[in-house]
Amino acid sequence: MPNIETCLSPLLFSARQTKDNYVVVVIDVLRATTAFCAALDRGFGSIIPVTGIEEALNYKEKGYQVAAEREGDKLDFADFGNSPTSFLSTNNIGDELVFTTTNGTRAIDTGKVADELITASFSNLTAVCNWIFNSNRNVVILCAGWKNTFSLEDTLCAGAIAEKLIKGGHFLPVDDATLVSKALWGKSSENLRENVRQSSHYQRLRSKGLDNDLEYCFRIDTSESVPVLVDGKLVNDKA
Amino acid sequence: MPNIETCLSPLLFSARQTKDNYVVVVIDVLRATTAFCAALDRGFGSIIPVTGIEEALNYKEKGYQVAAEREGDKLDFADFGNSPTSFLSTNNIGDELVFTTTNGTRAIDTGKVADELITASFSNLTAVCNWIFNSNRNVVILCAGWKNTFSLEDTLCAGAIAEKLIKGGHFLPVDDATLVSKALWGKSSENLRENVRQSSHYQRLRSKGLDNDLEYCFRIDTSESVPVLVDGKLVNDKA
């Protein structure tokens, strides 16, 4: 039976047990991995995740469309920030989208040593789980968190995935982090928005007036997209 | 109002927000920080935490009493492992005890950059909180975990401390990890042993037949000792 393990911060990835035949599932609910689905759903063919602002700027100067966010704000030179709702309301769609964010794209950079890497959010919860069921690999969930610290919303999404994978005895949880995430999700799922309201990053985005994004990011199964990293680009491998 | 922040693994200490006027509270419930209290209660004057086996061996060759554990087992050359109950049943007490463990003494090494460092467990929960109330410093709780990964029992102890400090509005929680630890403790405190039974390290020690230690480590307020790091040694600063 394949293992499932959870890293509650990118800094914990180096301490994982699972190192063979595994898929990394990167979660950054607010907002990068939710935005990836929205961008692919609106028609982008692929997303190029980059960690540095300079690299994103270089792409912009070459004519690429660029999404760039730091500290919750869109950078001036970019076409988009990391607001999922901004993608849903645009018609200005190209083929490739370069993407850099405070936490999500860095987590991808950390996890890319895996055999495969996908990204998850509440928006593609069921699609991601179906993809994993078909992959027959061990699973390492990698929560992006906020500047390498633990974040509640990513942990809850990790727990939602763990619950689906463990149910029916398909995957074996091998660490306390997976059991705790699953238990937290079990207690929070019925009133998700209410339960995340106290979290640091929810409050941070709320103070910026981003209520539309907050509403969207906690909606479950709005997308069937599964962003999969192939040759450095996230492409849509629908379940 | 002083802050309270929680690092769920030593690897997360570098990402903490709190860097001024703070006390680090190291937690390794199973079993180092529980054993520190037992050793001080039995009459040791101080504990010298060391990270390496070789360093512990050097002390042993100089005539010191040494407690040394790796992977849950006492090392052959040592007088003690890290079993708290082994201290309670011994009469062979010296002045100073050298101590090295898989996780706890390494967490002390990580946190010693703080203005002050104390160690906590369920056994000295109230004593630790009273000490912190008197210190008027910010608080960074540092869970030792297991080989740098998240562990349930340390997180629950962190939550128990957070609950006491936050109650009455004396300390301000500044991160999601503190809120989640506190919530987990709130849901687990009434039936603590039952709630930790699934945790990895509980199972590991259970398989070694260490039921006496497991029973002891989840008893609350068996000790009034507060081990405080002074010049590289843990000394007892009773609340």
Q: What is the ipTM of this complex?
A: 0.93
Q: What is the mean pLDDT of residues A82-110?
A: 92
User: Using one digit for the tens of pLDDT, what is the confidence trace for A136-165?
Assistant: 899 999 999 999 999 999 999 999 999 999
Query: Which residues from A are below 8 Å from B when comparing CB atoms?
Result: 8-9, 11-12, 14-17, 147-152, 155, 174-177, 179-180, 183-184, 187, 198-201
Return the pLDDT at B238.
Answer: 77
Which chain B positions have a beta carbon within 8 Å of A198's beta carbon?
Answer: 179
pLDDT (average), residues A66-80: 95
Q: How far apart are CA A55 and CA A127, in angstroms?
A: 31
Taking any CB pair shorter than 8 Å as contact, residues of chain B touching chain A are 8-9, 11-12, 14-17, 147-152, 155, 174-177, 179-180, 183-184, 187, 198-201
The number of distinct structural domains making up chain B is 1
Sign of the Cα pseudo-torsion (A32, A35, A36, A37, in order): positive
Q: Quickly state the pLDDT bin for A94 (edges 50, 70, 90).
A: confident
Give residue A239's pLDDT.
58
d(CA A107, CA B21): 31
> Could you tell me the residue range of the domain that residue B38 belongs to?
3-236
Residue A92 predicted with pLDDT over 80: no
Question: Within 10 Å of residue A223's Cβ, how many Cβ atoms?
Answer: 24
Distant-in-sequence contacts of B52-60, Cβ < 8 A, 24+ apart: B52/B100, B53/B100, B55/B100, B56/B98, B56/B99, B56/B100, B59/B98, B60/B98
- Using an 8 Å CB-CB cutoff, list chain A residues near B9: 9, 11-12, 15
Tokens standing for residue A170? 């398909």
Write out chain A residues lying below 8 Å of B16, CB-based. 149
Cα B239 to Cα B220: distance, rounded to the nearest angstrom: 16
Report the residue of chain B nearest A202, measured CA to CA: B176
Q: How confident is the model at residue B239 (pLDDT cuts 50, 70, 90)?
A: low
| Long-range Cβ contacts of A205-210 (<8 Å, 24+ apart) | A205/A30, A205/A31, A205/A72, A208/A72, A208/A73, A210/A72, A210/A83
Contact B53, B68 (CB under 8 A): yes
Measured between beta carbons, the chain B residues lying within 8 angstroms of A176 are 149-152, 155, 199-201
Chains A and B form CB pairs within 8 A to the count of 83
Cα A145 from Cα A127, distance rounded (Å): 22
CA dist., res. B124 & res. B15, Å (int): 27
A180, B175: Cβ pair inside 8 Å? no
Q: Which of A11, A15, A198 sits opposite B147 (nearest CB)?
A: A15
Query: How far apart are the C-alpha atoms of A135 and A137, rounded to whole Å?
Result: 5
Residue A48 · residue A98 · CB < 8 Å: yes
Summarised one tens digit per residue, pLDDT across range A179-238 is 999 999 999 999 999 999 989 999 999 999 999 999 999 999 999 999 999 999 999 997
Asked if pLDDT for residue B115 goes beyond 90, the answer is yes
Q: What was the pLDDT predicted at A84?
A: 97
Min Cα distance A169 → chain B (Å) is 16
Q: Is the pTM of this model over 0.90?
A: yes
Report chain B residues whose CB lies below 8 A from the CB of A152.
Answer: 176, 179-180
pLDDT in tens, A8-57: 999 999 999 999 999 999 999 999 999 999 999 999 999 999 999 999 99
Tell me if A150 and B176 make a contact (CB, 8 A cut-off): yes
Query: Who contacts A131 (Cβ-Cβ below 8 Å, separation ≥6)?
Result: A118, A226, A228, A237, A239
Is the bond leading into A42 cis (omega within 30 degrees of zero)?
A: no
Candidates B15, B176, B199; nearest CB to A176: B199
Show residues of chain A in contact with B202, CB under 8 Å: none
Q: Which residues of A touch B191 (CB under 8 A)?
A: none
Q: What pLDDT digit, counting tens, does each position of B74-94 carry? A: 999 999 999 999 998 887 778
| Contact: A12, B149; criterion CB under 8 Å | yes
Residue B167, Ramachandran bin (φ over 0: left; ψ between -120 and 50: alpha; else beta): beta
Nearest chain B residue (CA) to A17: B149
Cα(B107)–Cα(B11) distance, integer angstroms? 9
Mean pLDDT along residues A63-90? 94
What's residue B196's pLDDT?
A: 94
In a 3-state reduction of DSSP, which class is residue B13? helix
pLDDT in tens, B27-42: 999 999 999 999 999 9
**Record: contact B176-A15, CB cut-off 8 A:** no
Provide the percentage of residues in chain B whose pLDDT is more than 90: 94
Burial of A55 (0-12, 13-18, 19+ CB in 10 A): middle
* Domain of residue B38, CATH code: 3.90.1560.10
CB A177 to CB B12 under 8 A?
no
CB-based contact A15 B15, cutoff 8 Å: no
Quick one: pLDDT at residue A168? 80
Nearest to A198 among B17, B148, B179 (CB): B179
**The pLDDT of residue B168 is above 90:** no
Nearest to B177 among A149, A187, A198 (CB): A149
Contacts of A154 in chain B (CB under 8 A): none
Closest residue of chain B to A201, computed from CA coordinates: B176
Among A11, A155, A174, select the one facing B12 at the smallest CB separation. Answer: A11
